[in-house]
Structure 1
Amino acid sequence: MADLKPLHLGQPSALPASPEAAVLDYVPNPRAGSLYLVRFAAPEFTSLCPVTGQPDFAHLVLDYAPGERIVESKSLKLFLGAFRNHAGFHEDVTVGIGQRLFDEMAPRWLRIGGYWYPRGGIPIDVFWQSGPAPEGLWVPDQGVAPYRGRG
């Protein structure tokens, strides 16, 4: 895990070669002790099918209630971009992103929704959360409509 001095912020940063090589930066939570929700949406997320090597596309929504630190957004963007050349099933990619962030950042709560566009005519949605949301946390709907095709 990166220390609390951001590696990427304010620096030129190349896209990591793989998700495993990506370094996520964390900074102190400016509102530590307050219960609030942070949402990141990545509507153009891309990875590769592990069988065909063809690109897969998803709309990811990541919600978390910070603990003592928050994830720095540029490092998160680079981490997610590293999946562009990574082969993985939808379930592995979605849950893996959520678990890595939860393990490293240690938020009070985290959930991820992976709304994957059809592969073989079937859209696949994958959801993971660290446990029940803390009492009193406002958790809005992720706002991604079910896949309806062209009409």
Structure 2
Amino acid sequence: MYGERAIAEASLLCFENPRPGRVYEISITLPEFTCLCPFSGYPDFATLQLLYQPGPRVMELKAIKLYVNSYRDRTISHEEVVNRLLDDFVAACDPVWMQLEADFNPRGNVHTVIRASHGVRQPS
């Protein structure tokens, strides 16, 4: 299927920042993130909130969507997935500042929110 192929081949594409001299923020919400629990194998669902101040490059939205969807069958902890995604996003676009938050759906009466950041946020 073309969707599965697109997800399997996903990479984080970027384009040149159209306003490199201006401090501004980009906010992206990904409400349908899923991965697999490394202990039970059950699916974990989360809303990802990405907020960043671009450096030389801006991440392309469809590329982010496909890349994030590639985690749906990965067995990975909440903590590791947030840190790995953040590392990959930072490597792709070299932001001035970036924060990634994952708000995982409650399971077994436990609600988890993981937040990680990179760089120093500038006033905008």
- Match runs of 1:120-139 below 5 Å: 120-134=108-122, 136-137=123-124
- Match runs of 1:1-151 below 5 Å: 14-17=5-8, 22-134=10-122, 136-137=123-124
Distance in 2, matches of 1:30 and 1:104, equals 16
Shift in Å at residue 98 of structure 1?
Answer: 1.0
Percent identical residues: 33
Q: Structure 2 length as normaliser, TM-score? A: 0.90
Shift in Å at residue 121 of structure 1?
Answer: 1.8
Distance change in 2, residues 1:118/1:15 (3 Å): farther
Deviation track 1:65-110 (CA, whole Å, cap 9, x = no partner) reads: 0111100111100001111111110011111111111122101110
Distance change in 2, residues 1:63/1:108 (3 Å): same
Tell me, which stretches of 5 or more residues in structure 2 are unaligned? none
Partner residue, 1:148: none
Distance in 2, matches of 1:71 and 1:132, equals 19
Q: Provide the aligned C-alpha RMSD in A.
A: 1.5
Where does structure 1 differ by over 6 angstroms across 4 or more consecutive aligned residues? none
**Contact 1:69–1:105 under 8 Å retained in 2:** yes
Distance in 2, matches of 1:48 and 1:31, equals 38
Which has the larger Rg?
A: 1
Identify which of structures 1 and 2 has the higher relative contact order when contacts are C-alpha pairs closer than 8 Å and 6+ apart. Answer: 2
Structure 1 counterpart of 2:37, one-letter code = C
Structure 2 counterpart of 1:122, one-letter code = V
Distance in 2, matches of 1:129 and 1:119, equals 25
Structure 1 counterpart of 2:57, one-letter code = R
Q: Structure 1 length as normaliser, TM-score? A: 0.75
Greater helix content = 2
Distance in 2, matches of 1:55 and 1:89, equals 11
Distance in 2, matches of 1:73 and 1:39, equals 11
Distance in 2, matches of 1:111 and 1:121, equals 26
